[in-house]
């Protein structure tokens, strides 16, 4: 999960480390998949289902 979190009242919000890493990956040309939380849960379920079948 990525996003912003408050760091202090004067500076306002600061990007999370994961969000910063994602932005750097995009700048380096690495492929990045953006999905909702539901899509991520579905992806994990499908991954473990395939893993349990030995695929």
What does the mean pLDDT of the chain come to?
80
Question: Checking phi first, is residue 31 left (phi over 0); if not, alpha (psi -120 to 50) or beta?
Answer: beta
Q: Tell me the pLDDT tens digit for each residue of 14-30.
A: 667 777 888 898 899 99
What pLDDT does 8 receive? 58
Beta-bridge mates of residue 13: 6
CA 24 from chain centre, in angstroms, equals 13
Residue 1's pLDDT band, with cuts at 50, 70 and 90, is very low
Band of pLDDT at residue 48, cut at 50, 70 and 90? very high
- For 52, the 3-state DSSP assignment is helix
Domain ranges of the chain: 4-52
**CA dist., res. 51 & res. 16, Å (int):** 31
pLDDT at res. 53: 92
């Amino acid at each position: 999960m990525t996003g912003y979190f408050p760091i202090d009242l004067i500076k306002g919000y600061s990007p999370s480390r994961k969000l910063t890493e994602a932005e750097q990956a995009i700048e380096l040309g690495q492929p990045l998949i953006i999905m909702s939380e539901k899509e991520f849960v579905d992806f994990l379920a499908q991954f473990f289902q395939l893993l349990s079948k030995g695929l």
